Chains A and B, each alone.
Chain A
Amino acid sequence: MPPGLRLICLALVLALPARADTVLKVYVSGQIATPVFRKALDRFEAANPGTHVQIEVGGATSEEQAQYLNTVLSAGDSSLDAFLLDIVRPAQFAAAKWVTPMNSAIGDPKQFMKQYLPEYAKADTVKGEVVALPAFADAMFLYYRKDLLDKYHLQPPKTWDELATQVKTILAGEHDPTLEGVSFQAKAIEGAVCTFLLPYWSMGNSLEQDGHLTFDREAATKALTMWVNLVKQGVAPKNVAEIATDDTRKDFQAGKAIFAVLWAYGWADFQGPDSAVRGKVGVAVLPAMTGGRSVSCLGGWQWGASAYSKHKPEAVKLVKFMSTPDISKLLAVDASLLPVFPSLYHDPEVLKADPWFADALAVVQTARTRPVTPLYNQVSEIIRTTVNAVLAGTQTPEQGAAQMGAQLRRVLH
């Protein structure tokens, strides 16, 4: 090549702007297995050369995470491109215009969301727009002591009344003063909302329909009464109003409870080396109210793309990628996180890593999502304070239900 041409070629190459790599920052709550997410994001980087993803961790609990995101997004900050959201947040974030809708990337929303567990479509769709995609699932399970139930020739209870009877039988036979019947949460935490909704939904009621309140006072009274009666009969501990999620886990793990109403994370701890109940635990669908159906409370986390991101198309792409069966399987196998795709519950590799997912599927399929409304936090506040007051004994179920109705009517119309 003549030297002049060489020089021109060199000049052209040098003049071309270097292809800048895109760096995406992803916010993952501290509690979730960060190494596994790193692995998943590495796969994304491999599939999208030129894009790097950094993980930001902060705020272990759902509340702290929300507090942090709240600050950053209220300030319109572009430092985060995507984040994991607790299942109850997408509606509020969408209303505050903090997330980028996914519709442009997924085609027909209804069709696209069919691949997931059905209630996620409800949780992540706001006014026809899909605002978040499921990352991994969670639900409330009935954990039970297989050894104790076997000893008394009992099958997992189908109704709460049956559960009460079983507990009385076992307690009478065991003569263990430290053994409780059923541990559940009535401290004024988010889980207390599920405590209320489980029996309420079981009777076929809904709290809201399309953002409108559909509160049934009688059903609410019955729901609260069910729990109060369990305490009165000695089937549930009297101090249930101070019990938070991890207290249930610790009690059941120490062998102090026959039944526990708890999220999926308990399983790994119950089978861990420090557990007093290793190998003695089974999971079942939650009992129903008499004449009702078995339901569970849906949890899990969702990926959202920040509306303030400077790389919106890449962020949306990332969100979509992280919500594929491939990644869901990775999370299931490496971190025992429940998949959001029903098909994966039959996958041999997944079952090899988490054999109990076979039982888990039945529970997850009965799970319903809490009210999807931008005012969810107000609704949650009302329900959890009422549950707390009623189960502390400072209010009767009737008073609680009346108060709940009055307050909910002021928030949701």
Chain B
Amino acid sequence: MDPKPAVLAAVLLAPAFLLLALIVVYPVGRLIWTSLFELNLTSGLPAEFTGISNYVLVVQDPVFWQTLTNTAVITVVTVPGALVAGMVLALIANLPFRRPWPVRLALLVPWAMPLAFTGLISAWFFNSQYGVVNDLLRRIGLPQPIWFNSAVLSMAAICLTIIWKASSFVAMILFAGLQTIPRELYEAADVDGAGRLRQFWSVTVPLLRPAIVVAMIFRTITALQTFDIPFTMTRGGPGNTTRTLAMYIYQNTVSFLDLGYSSTLAVVMFLISMAVSVVYLRQIRATT
């Protein structure tokens, strides 16, 4: 017989929360604690409790605002971008092919390529002399810009790369969702005289909503943490125009050894991410 629901729930959730407690709670706790101190390893001085003054410093920091803006641009461009691209890819992959595995493989490979090398490969693709992109433009007869000499073009190259990779992630989740939509619903819609597009909006999208929301939550959180691709492609250049918040955090942690400040920035990133997630989670609640 079934144990009481509360007991069963506790047992089922225990492993997850035990793992989280072991691996995450101490590091995150220490992070939040450190953000209340002035701690820079290169000063040789011990940590000094400064309360929320680090947070005040962050608000007054122009580099923070610049990196936040860059991160926001990337998020606003790549989240819808990956959604649209991912949806298209998933829908195509869901078509009845005689041999489905090549298309499914193509859906998966971009996500399977290591992130660090995706950036390096993309930097090479957009290289003004030796890159494929400019070679294609040359063959078509279009001008070939020096991508990394321009803030706008650099950001475009970065966003395109991110969308390429992330659309694979979104597509996989949506594709799985598409598998569970019963064929009868489409057949019934056909009988009702609804066209393909109408079926998409009235059958596919509503039933895919949970999958879409999940994909969007993680796409957004990942977008806010964008690091590898801009780091390897432009190092944040030209100037600071493609430097993201995650790059700034990395720099403060590893390069500047300013642990108090980088902890503060990380907590700020967490707060922004959670705010966004709450909005999304309400969407999940609305659909069930």
Interface residues, chain A, with chain B CB atoms under 8 Å away: 66-67, 70, 74, 92, 95-97, 187-189, 237-239, 241-242, 374-375, 377-378, 381, 384-386, 388-389, 392-395
Contact = CB atoms under 8 A, between A and B. Distances in A.
A290 B176 CA distance: 67
A388 B236 CA distance: 10
Nearest to B45: A95
Contact of A395 (B129, B150, B239, B255): B239
B127 interface: yes
- Residue in A187, A384, A392 with the greatest tally of chain B CB atoms within 10 Å: A392
Nearest to A247: B127
B237 A96 contact: no
Contacts of A187: 148, 235, 237
A242 B125 CA distance: 12
Contacts of A92: 42, 257
Given A92-B257, A239-B149, A377-B255, A394 B127 contact: no
Nearest to B44: A95
B94 interface: no
A191 to B, nearest CB: 11
Contacts of B236: 188, 385
A277 B198 CA distance: 65
B191 interface: no
Chain A interface, >50% SS class: helix
Given A96-B44, A239-B129, A394 B238 contact: yes
Contacts of B256: 375, 377-378
Contacts of A242: 123, 127-128, 146-149
A83 to B, nearest CB: 16
Interface string B250-262: 0100111101000
Nearest to A95: B42
Given A188-B237, A388-B239, A393 B149 contact: yes
Most chain B CB neighbours (cut-off 10 Å) among A242, A374, A375, A393:
A242
A64 to B, nearest CB: 10
Given A242-B128, A377-B256, A388 B238 contact: yes
A374 B42 contact: yes
A193 to B, nearest CB: 13
A385 B240 contact: yes
Contacts of A66: 254-255
B287 interface: no
B36 to A, nearest CB: 18
Given A238-B146, A242-B146, A188 B44 contact: no
Contact of A394 (B123, B151, B235): B151
Shortest 6 CB-CB contacts between residues of A and residues of B = A389-B239, A392-B238, A188-B235, A374-B42, A242-B148, A377-B255
A393 B239 CA distance: 10
B241 A394 contact: yes
B251 A394 contact: no
A388 B116 CA distance: 22
A15 to B, nearest CB: 44
Contacts of B234: 188
A241 to B, nearest CB: 6
B255 A389 contact: no
A381 B256 CA distance: 10
A377 B129 CA distance: 31
A386 B235 CA distance: 12
B43 interface: yes
B20 to A, nearest CB: 21
Contacts of B251: 377, 381
A67 B254 contact: yes
B254 A241 contact: no
Contact of A70 (B127, B128, B239, B254): B254
A66 B150 CA distance: 30
Interface string B219-254: 000000000000000111111110000000001001
A393 B148 CA distance: 10
Contacts of A189: 235
Given A242-B128, A388-B235, A394-B241, A96 B41 contact: yes
Given A74-B259, A374-B42, A377-B257, 19 more contacts: A66-B255, A95-B42, A188-B234, A188-B236, A238-B146, A239-B146, A241-B148, A242-B123, A242-B147, A242-B148, A374-B43, A392-B150, A392-B238, A393-B149, A393-B238, A394-B149, A394-B151, A394-B238, A394-B239
Contacts of A70: 254, 257
9 contacts: A95-B41, A239-B148, A242-B128, A381-B251, A385-B237, A388-B238, A392-B149, A392-B237, A394-B239
Contacts of B235: 187-189, 384, 388
Interface string B69-97: 00000000000000000000000000000
A287 to B, nearest CB: 25
A238 B149 contact: yes
A76 to B, nearest CB: 11
A96 B257 contact: yes
Nearest to B151: A394
Contacts of B259: 74
Contacts of A392: 148-150, 237-239
